[in-house]
Amino acid sequence: MNKTLLPGKTIGIIGGGQLGQMMALSAKEMGYKVLILDPQPNCSAAQVSDGQIVAEYDDLDKLVELAKACDVLTYEFENVNAQAIEEVKKYTEVPQGTKALSVTQNRISEKDFIEQSGFKVVPHIVIDNIFEYHRGVEKLGAPVILKTIRGGYDGKGQILIDDPENVCYADIEHLLMQGTCILEKKINLKKEVSVVVSANSQGDTSIFPVIENVHRHNILHLSTCPAQISSQSEHHIYQVGETLAKKLELVGTMCIEFFISDNDEVYVNEIAPRPHNSGHLTIEACNLSQFEAHVRGVCNLPMPKVQLFKTAAMINLLGQHLENAKNQWPVHPEWHFHDYGKDAVKKNRKMGHITILSEDLAATKQAIENNSIWDV
């Protein structure tokens, strides 16, 4: 799409979770109309949009209905059917295309793409059966992580194997029954970081400061910005972001996650072709958020240079945290509190987040650590 889509036009979003909600809020603030397709009635994104089509993500008839009703179509998660996207391109603009989807929906093609682009990934082996698993463990050496090649988030679809002699083979065989897997070497990790990159159809980019991430039980717990990393690592990460954005023909926002080893080796972990949980702090911390940047990208608007106003920390609110966080909010004026409005509150389900802008990031992190909300 080479023409600019101006306010007043309609943006269709496939997916109605919190990413779709924050995308829709940005679009509405800029004057666009928004339609959501999601199987959950009154989903998070629909609550702040102009309308919703209640349908499964692979319902082609309903996707075509959405496409016909909007001027541009986007998506909030990467497990959209790429073939269905190709079909709906007959009816509306889909500037993101399917290249990034097709590369990132399969961990093998994703790692091959990253390596072919000249960047490091963690040593890994493709595994199809239990015999190949044993050979892979012998070759890579424990600890290793077995992952499905499709789907999986927040630690789902993967098994950490610290001690190959003391492992539940039924769990491994269950994962292998789902199809081809990847066995990855678990590196000695110093930090996990991410970078968010956005682009329009002209290839103009906005690249955000590198974000440092801490996970608990494979779920993102805390993101802080800027990341406390060497200038060499930071420069390399920006180079990876710009290069992969160009090679993937990026339009909209994507996030690239990295591992930094204890000897300062930088490995690309994975690519999310959409806004990302770690980028939520950009809403308050930067001159534009990752969501505004996404809307700008798919509407082919100019892409500003990103400025970080102040150091920031973002903490996820899971189901078990939400009520206590609400009760504490009145005594924490520094909290920027976000509730996604989900109907069902479940343990380990992302229900909201809090962002804190800080003059002293170390003190802010310590205050978060000392707060018993996140102990459960």
Mean pLDDT of the chain: 95
Run of H or E residues at 125: strand 124-127
- DSSP for 311-376, written as a single string: EEEEEEEETTTHHHHHHHGGG-TTEEEEE---SS--TT-EEEEEEEEES-HHHHHHHHHH-GGGG-
What residues of the chain score a pLDDT lower than 70?
Answer: 1, 152-155
Please report the domains of the chain, with CATH numbers, ordered by start residue.
10-94 (3.40.50.20), 123-185 (3.30.1490.20), 189-375 (3.30.470.20)
- CA separation for the pair 25, 18 (Å, rounded): 10
The predicted pLDDT at position 376 comes to: 81
User: 153-165 pLDDT, tens per residue?
Assistant: 655 788 999 988 8
353, 314 in Cβ contact below 8 A?
yes
pLDDT at 153: 63
In this predicted model, what pLDDT tens digit does every residue of 267-294 receive, in sequence order? 999 999 999 999 999 999 999 999 999 9
| pTM across the whole model | 0.95
Token pair 């496939």 is found at: 14
